[in-house]
Structure 1
Amino acid sequence: MDGYRAFWDGQKLYTKSGNLFSVPNQFTQSFPRDVCLDGELWTDYANFSNLSSIYRKSNELDENQELESWQNVKFCVFDTPMHPGCYPERHSFASDSISGCGPNICMIPIQQCLGVDHLQANLQQVHTKKGEGLMLYHPTSPYISGRTNNLLKVKLYEEEDVKFISC
């Protein structure tokens, strides 16, 4: 996926750095209350610039235009931070929690990795769709906020974090 990481606290959506996401109230009105969810705001593969444009222009639009612009945005859930248990249990709880919550919230499916060949085949499928990569969760890990070796992002290419000092 290539979207905006988002956290639902049961009432509002937040960025991964803890800032409030400004989204139309109608977008989250069907989300489950009193359940924390971890996921990503997403529109489609290779469409991050469109999502970014929707988010940036939201405040410039009237309510109907804003709602229309958010029509194809989804909150794609992959975990529930406050639920105890290992990853498959948390994923199942999150899936049950959003069942019937409407078209703008969905669960990211999971599958067990059966080895390197299986991983490479799935990674190639995602790459063909212009996806960013795959997330590998350790199945017995508890939820850990921030970077952890129990959750790894696998891509077909290496990337590095850089810091621009000046241009």
Structure 2
Amino acid sequence: MRGQAWAGQDPTGWFMVQKLGGIRAFWDGSKLFARDGKIVLAPLDFISSLPPGVSLDGELWIGYGALPELTSILNQNLSDLWKDVKYIVFDAPTHHGTYPQRHAFASATIPHNSNRIKMIPSERCIGLEHLQSTLHTITTKKGAGVLLYHPESSYTPGRTGELLEVKDSFEEEDVTFLKCNENSR
């Protein structure tokens, strides 16, 4: 399930989830896959922490602003580098039901004492100010934004309007200023 850009729709009643900015990964109950369908070669101790027989949708993550480091860890495929990698779950794709039902199901399948797999919290949005405040809190920590799940949405492969991506519209841009030669015309 992939979101569409939020276009200012009323967020009241939708479920807000933090968009972390990690690497999307799907657990099919026995293997971990990247969004492009390739198997993620995670070490056995990492894989053994994931629940067998349950499909989960989430992100591999090591921290805010650490995507280059995470990408390097995944590309090197050295098990000792995976010690800080976590699988942050936000959905259960094969579980029938609405988003809150899938979220609750996924949460119930995750071992709560694991430091490798965590369920991302979701919160029902009470209005635009609530969304803006949550977005500000997340982007201040260098998070990527907010995902809004429609409360009655079923899991839909591909892009859907029942999942909206909200990003800070005032994201800083990298701007390079060229030093000009004062003598040039």
Please tell me the TM-score bracket, short chain as reference.
Answer: 0.7 to 0.9
Give a deviation string over 1:42-88, Cα, whole Å, max 9, x none. Answer: 01011111101111122xxxxxxx33210110000000001010000
Q: Which runs of 5+ in 2 are unaligned?
A: 1-19, 172-185
Question: SS state of the match for residue 69, structure 2?
Answer: helix
Select the structure that is richer in helix.
Answer: 1
Q: CA deviation at 1:18?
A: 1.2
1:146 is the counterpart of 2:158: yes
CA 1:101–1:22: 2 relative to 1, 3 Å: farther
2:49 aligned residue = 30
CA distance in 2, matches of 1:57, 1:9: 23
1:11 is the counterpart of 2:23: no
Which stretches of structure 1, 4 residues or longer, exceed 6 Å deviation after superposition?
A: none
CA distance in 2, matches of 1:106, 1:37: 11
Q: CA deviation at 1:101?
A: 6.0
1:70 is the counterpart of 2:89: no
Q: In the alignment, is the contact (CA less than 8 A) between 1:31 and 1:101 conserved in 2?
A: no
CA distance in 2, matches of 1:117, 1:13: 37
Q: TM-score, normalised by structure 2?
A: 0.79
Number of residue equivalences: 152
Q: TM-score, normalised by structure 1?
A: 0.87
Amino acid across the alignment from 1:118: H
Give a deviation string over 1:110-166, Cα, whole Å, max 9, x none. Answer: 00011110000000000000011000000111000110000011001389xxxxxxx
Q: How does 1:1-167 map to 2 (within 5 A)?
A: 1-58=20-77, 66-100=78-112, 102-157=114-169
Q: In the alignment, is the contact (CA less than 8 A) between 2:42 and 2:79 conserved in 1?
A: no
Select the structure that is richer in strand.
Answer: 2
Question: SS state of the match for residue 88, structure 1?
Answer: helix
Question: SS state of the match for residue 124, structure 2?
Answer: coil
CA distance in 1, matches of 2:36, 2:127: 34
Report % sequence identity: 47
Q: In the alignment, is the contact (CA less than 8 A) between 2:112 and 2:118 conserved in 1?
A: no
Larger relative contact order (Cα-Cα within 8 Å, sequence gap ≥ 6): 2
Q: CA deviation at 1:99?
A: 2.8
